[in-house]
Amino acid sequence: MTARLSDQPWLIAPATRAVMAALEAVGGPGCARFVGGCVRNALIGQPVADIDIATTLTPDETDRAIRAAGLKAVPTGIAHGTVTAVAERRPFEITTLRRDVSTDGRNATVAFTDDWAQDAARRDFRLNALYADADGTVFDPTGEGVADALAGRIIFVGDPQTRIREDYLRILRFFRFHAWYGRGEPDSAALSACRALAPGMSRLSAERVSSELMKLLAAPDPRAAVAAMADAGVLAQLLPEARLSPLFEAAVDQSGDPVVRLMLLLPADERVAREAAVRLRFPNATRDRLAFAAQALPAVSLSMSDREARVALYRHGVPAFRDAVCRRWAEAPAESVPARRLLALAEAWTRPPMPVGGRDLARLGVAPGPDTGRLLKAFEDGWIADDFPAEGHAARLTALVSARRG
């Protein structure tokens, strides 16, 4: 199937043309082609974020060509053939055509080549093994990549088990690409290979796994892909704590936040959430969100009053309160009105500062020490219970001190 990219803004942008012209000035016409996601997304009408380029030039030749054109060249991955060109503050990742010499399931030793078919043969899926010249003419070495992209088929290049054994992360990438670009049932041969080789994911670094998982959960609707992962034993391999349930189904409808979706795959247990996050080396912010939401959950219900909600917000903070509301809403999907009310309240909430401190107690003759902390805690509890009044603090504090002395 022949295809041609339309004149999209990124394709005809001066920065893009400058980079391609710099490469062709050294290697001649056709020495460089756009590759992968930018070609695929342009074909199917999806946004293009990163512009990757493949070239027959060696990394050294690429570096010299970019610099000779007055552009910035950054050797971001010379060992693997990658140089990043920067034109008008936009990065373009340029990689020399490669073939695999050896692989260990995590990393590959590569040799450079000038054969486009060899480069395509080492890629993961046929819809990612697409190239396009500077004028937008598409090249499809596998002969099926364009058709796959248009039909929403995620099919490995060549034998699925061979591709997976080269890099076990491709198991997760299969489900991630199905979530983002797939339509209909997942490819049966790919599913069989993923099921058979799922234990090989234990060789992968936790950071690679967690990054890929979050990209999958960020898809517009990852439910079918996650269900297929569970059925193939892949979800249990990487996140044994996860459980598919109506909660996850509801979470996808209610929020596009991948952390909320992850939260609804896990039990509402702070210890379990922390252990899973630490094992997969999620960022600290993600780990804490999962744990704090579990902490806040007992204090949150969709039937709570605004006053009760303000107490929970003060005690647990806006992010944890909001995440706990999302979980309660997933538990009762029909209760959208109270859930949205609580989320709106949280959005508008500003935590009031504690209106008194140790100096106020010192003025009342309370010496620094354990009594200071106890009195301030008693004041805060009463102030919260009375819905954070803005006045009367001196009288309340004086009464507490008097009661303590009495």
The reported pLDDT for the residue numbered 404 is 83
Q: What would you report as the CA-atom Rg of the chain, rounded to the nearest whole angstrom?
A: 28
The pLDDT of 85-107, averaged and rounded, is 84
The pLDDT of 346-364, averaged and rounded, is 93
The pLDDT of 213-240, averaged and rounded, is 96
The reported pLDDT for the residue numbered 3 is 85
The pLDDT of 15-35, averaged and rounded, is 96
pTM listed for this prediction:
0.89
The reported pLDDT for the residue numbered 201 is 95
Contact 94, 101 (CB under 8 A): no
The reported pLDDT for the residue numbered 104 is 61
Q: Please state at what angle helix 169-181 crosses helix 223-231, rounded to 10 degrees.
A: 150
CA 194/CA 201 separation, integer angstroms: 10
- Under the banding of pLDDT at 50, 70 and 90, the label for residue 111 is confident
Tokens linked to 378: 């008693």
pLDDT digits (tens, 9 = 90+) for 279-294: 999 999 999 999 999 9
Least Cα distance to 40 among 172, 171, 206, 177 occurs for 177
State yes or no: pLDDT of 344 exceeds 80: yes
The SS3 assignment for 243 reads: coil
The pLDDT of 384-406, averaged and rounded, is 89
High-pLDDT (> 90) share of the chain, %: 87
Across 8-17, 101-110, 370-379, least confident range? 101-110
Mean residue pLDDT across the chain: 94
Instruction: Output DSSP code: residue 52.
Output: E
- Under the banding of pLDDT at 50, 70 and 90, the label for residue 106 is low
**Burial zone of 171 (CB within 10 Å; 0-12 exposed, 13-18 middle, 19+ buried):** buried
State yes or no: pLDDT of 8 exceeds 80: yes
Q: Which domains does the chain have, with CATH numbers?
A: 1-151 (3.30.460.10), 158-238 (1.10.3090.10), 242-351 (no CATH), 358-405 (no CATH)
- 3-class SS letters over 69-81: CCCEEEEEEHHHC
The reported pLDDT for the residue numbered 179 is 97
- Checking DSSP bridges between strand 52-55 and strand 90-96, what pairing results, if any? parallel
Neighbours of 271 (CB within 10 A): 10
CA 149/CA 126 separation, integer angstroms: 8
DSSP string, 251-299: HHHH---HHHHHHHHS-S-HHHHHHHHHHTT--HHHHHHHHHHHHHGGG
CA 170/CA 204 separation, integer angstroms: 11
State yes or no: pLDDT of 101 exceeds 80: no
State yes or no: pLDDT of 199 exceeds 80: yes
The pLDDT of 1-6, averaged and rounded, is 79
